Structure 1
Amino acid sequence: MYQIGQYIIYGNTGVCKVEGLVEKPPLGLYYILKPLYESGTIYTPAEHPKVFMRPVISRDEAEALIDQIPQVVAQPDRTKNLQELREHYRTATCSHNCADLTRLTMSIYAKKKEQEQRGRRFGQVDERFMKQAESILFGEFAVALGIPKEEVHTYISRRVEGLRTVQA
């Protein structure tokens, strides 16, 4: 059971704060969740949830993931079949794993740079999933690191650059 005030990941909504717990007879206990970066309120079963939920990672876990970024090999998906591409991206975002989201974001970003260098337009599917993965990942990092979501990209860049300086 999650505690009131705890931050959790709720499906592809991203970070939510557990605002309360309410009994809904005959259905049972429901969490009242408040998304941090979206409006609205979510009521979801506390027992046998239908949507993936887990606690937000810790600061140490977030920093360890960021520190591993220089070793991540970005492999752009070059499939021409949009259905396959969507499914590949959906699978990665639905894993709810920060390492998978980091790899996905970096791979799509590498594809974007590749397309720009060739003078080609970046695909809408790629753009949509890159924004979705980044939003979920940066939202979780923001809570774990105790910084605003808008500052996460800068934080990551500085930390990775600092690692490169130390290693040089």
Structure 2
Amino acid sequence: MFHIGDLVIYSGQGICRVDDICDKTYKDMTKTYYVLHPIENSQGLTISIPIDNHKIFIDKLMNKAEAEKIIQSFASKGIDWIEKPQTRNQVFHEIVNSGNRMEIAKVANTLLRRKSKMEAKGKKFHESDAKLLTNIQDILFKELAIVLNCSYEEIYDKVDKMIHA
């Protein structure tokens, strides 16, 4: 159970603050909800999620030791590349949707290495891979930055140096 004021990871929106925990009634059913606001919330988005909803991934932020281990994981090669785009897209999205940050980092690592390789050859990086990579970076790198008390750019630079080492 989360508490008001906690920062959490919410699938699809990234880092959110729990602003309230309250009961809401819809169609004569009362449930307890988390009321979340994304920390980067230019649209004024409010998200209400039943606390017993197990279909949606919501988790506490990682700790500093986990964050440092994830950063170091970018020094290794990542996961195996899947040549067929449709299969790759499905497998990589399943990993991202699992919420396992270390496995998500391995997907990001693989995508970053492939992107670098493609650009070096003057080739275009597949659009679905680029979208997934951007989504992972927006969520994972921002979480790493918050946990490690640094900027998104510092995380990006550290990872980039490891990818190109």
TM-score normalised to the size of structure 1?
A: 0.82
Give the 5 Å matches for 1:1-168: 1-25=1-25, 26-38=29-41, 39=43, 40-73=45-78, 75-79=80-84, 82-156=85-159
In 1, the alpha carbon distance for the partners of 2:120 and 2:22 equals 54
**Segments of 4+ moved more than 4 angstroms:** 155-158
Taking structure 1 as reference, are residues 53 and 95 closer, same or farther at Cα in structure 2, changes over 3 Å only? Answer: same
Percent identity between the aligned chains? Answer: 24
Taking structure 1 as reference, are residues 152 and 37 closer, same or farther at Cα in structure 2, changes over 3 Å only? Answer: farther
- Any conservation in 2 of the 1:76–1:110 contact (CA below 8 Å)? no
- Any conservation in 2 of the 1:14–1:136 contact (CA below 8 Å)? yes
How far off is 1:150 after superposition? Answer: 3.6
Q: Which runs of 5+ in 2 are unaligned?
A: none
- Over the residues paired in the alignment, what is the CA RMSD in angstroms? 2.3
- Any conservation in 2 of the 1:12–1:94 contact (CA below 8 Å)? no
How far off is 1:122 after superposition? Answer: 1.3
How far off is 1:83 after superposition? Answer: 2.4
Q: Which runs of 5+ in 1 are unaligned?
A: none
Which amino acid counterpart does residue 157 of structure 2 have in structure 1? T
- Any conservation in 1 of the 2:24–2:32 contact (CA below 8 Å)? yes
How far off is 1:11 after superposition? Answer: 1.3
Taking structure 1 as reference, are residues 13 and 88 closer, same or farther at Cα in structure 2, changes over 3 Å only? Answer: same
In 2, the alpha carbon distance for the partners of 1:12 and 1:100 equals 17
Give a deviation string over 1:25-57, Cα, whole Å, max 9, x none.
Answer: 333111110112344110110123431111110
Which amino acid counterpart does residue 123 of structure 2 have in structure 1? R
Which amino acid counterpart does residue 118 of structure 1 have in structure 2? K
TM-score normalised to the size of structure 2?
A: 0.83
How far off is 1:77 after superposition? Answer: 2.9
In 1, the alpha carbon distance for the partners of 2:93 and 2:81 equals 15
